[in-house]
């Protein structure tokens, strides 16, 4: 008799974003244009922060890492999705599916924790300015960076470990354009109630708690800034508002996908498209458009190379 966690399925068939060839073509063109325009912008942000000696504050250090995480995150789903749009049969191997799922949650979890770290950075800068340079020293920044990468790894490896214990012996059609937990575990040939509960706790509950904690922390920071009469009040408000926009953009779709029982909804694929492809590329751009120092540094960098 086969062992309980044996896996017979060797590949999954992705049903894709839509069955309409016209819509597929439209989405392919729009995503490709968006990808080719915004992705270089993310790398330009990283290059600007790395090359400008004036952008050494922890805020820019973490922003550079956000751009790197988002660019890396977009490589997990978007390139394969674009190739699949042109393929008649969309197939991904079992190992490829698990690998995609691992990196999706590894980088996604790391980015969520990075937003928590950026909130901590703004809280200390605004509410404890006299201690800022002491607390947020380079060693502390690198320690926080290591912690968030480790946290993303632990979050993801738990997801993968739970899925690897499931037997897949029959249906192999994933109703999505990439591999993710809600669709994969529904194909298991066993009762998934306990696993689903653990998945919702690991992804959904933690995402919701981080989201509510971040909103509460920025509410405190913004109230403190409003009561302040310092010259940097407008700049601090602009920075915090930008952070809140990014939090809503990232955590909104994640809460929709992971904080409920894994049942299919009509909006799932559209939300997943924005969550895995569109928003990750937009996040650093939104920061940059609202940050005068980075925009000025970018102009100087471009002028140097064009001169």
Position 141 in a domain:
yes
pTM of the model: 0.89
Q: Establish if 215 belongs to a structural domain.
A: yes
Domain that holds residue 236: 11-295
Maximum distance among all Cα pairs of the chain, rounded to whole angstroms: 74
- Tell me whether residue 22 is in a domain: yes
Q: What is the pLDDT of residues 192-210, one digit of tens each?
A: 889 988 888 888 888 998 8
Tell me whether residue 306 is in a domain: no
Look up the CATH number of the domain holding residue 89: 1.20.1070.10
In a domain, residue 304? The reply is no
pLDDT digits (tens, 9 = 90+) for 113-150: 999 999 999 899 888 888 999 999 999 999 999 999 99
For position 170, what pLDDT does the model report?
Answer: 80
Kindly give the residue spans of alpha helices, DSSP state H, lying in 171-291: 181-185, 193-199, 206-227, 233-258, 268-273, 279-289
Banded model confidence at residue 231, pLDDT cuts 50, 70, 90: low
Is residue 6 included in any domain, yes or no?
no
56-70, 168-182, 229-243: which has the minimum mean pLDDT? 229-243
72 in any annotated domain = yes
Residue at 1 is within a domain: no
Residue 137 CA, chain-centre distance (Å), reads 26
pLDDT at 1: 40
Find where tokens 């915090």 sit. 240
DSSP string, 7-71: ----EEEE--S-S-HHHHHHHHHHHHHHHHHHHHHHHHHHHHHHH-TT--SHHHHHHHHHHHHHH
Report the number of distinct structural domains present in the chain: 1
């Amino acid at each position: 008799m086969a062992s309980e966690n044996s896996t017979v399925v060797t590949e999954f068939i992705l049903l894709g974003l839509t069955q309409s060839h016209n819509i597929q073509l439209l989405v392919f063109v729009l995503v490709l244009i968006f990808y080719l325009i915004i992705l270089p912008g993310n790398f330009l942000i990283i290059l600007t922060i790395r090359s400008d000696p004036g952008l050494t504050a922890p805020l820019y250090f973490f922003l550079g890492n956000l751009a790197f995480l988002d660019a890396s995150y977009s490589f997990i789903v978007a390139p394969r999705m674009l190739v699949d749009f042109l393929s008649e049969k969309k197939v991904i191997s079992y190992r490829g599916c698990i690998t995609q799922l691992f990196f999706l949650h590894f980088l996604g979890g790391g980015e969520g924790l990075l937003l928590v770290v950026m909130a901590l950075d703004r809280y200390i800068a605004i509410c404890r300015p006299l201690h800022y340079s002491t607390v947020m020293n380079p060693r502390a920044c690198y320690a926080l960076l290591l912690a968030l990468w480790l946290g993303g790894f632990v979050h993801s490896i738990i997801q993968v470990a739970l899925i690897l214990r499931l037997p897949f012996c029959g249906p192999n059609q994933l109703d999505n354009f990439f591999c993710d937990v809600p669709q994969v575990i529904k194909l298991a040939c066993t009762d998934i109630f306990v696993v689903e509960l653990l998945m919702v706790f690991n992804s959904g509950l933690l995402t919701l708690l981080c989201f509510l904690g971040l909103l509460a922390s920025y509410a405190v920071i913004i109230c403190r800034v409003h009561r302040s009469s310092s010259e940097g009040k407008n700049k601090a408000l602009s920075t915090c508002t930008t952070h809140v926009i990014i939090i809503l953009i990232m955590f909104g779709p994640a809460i929709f996908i992971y904080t409920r029982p894994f049942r299919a909804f009509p909006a799932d694929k559209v939300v997943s498209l924005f969550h895995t492809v569109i928003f990750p590329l937009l996040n650093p751009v939104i920061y940059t458009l609202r940050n005068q120092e980075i925009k000025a540094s970018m102009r100087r960098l471009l002028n140097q190379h064009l001169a």
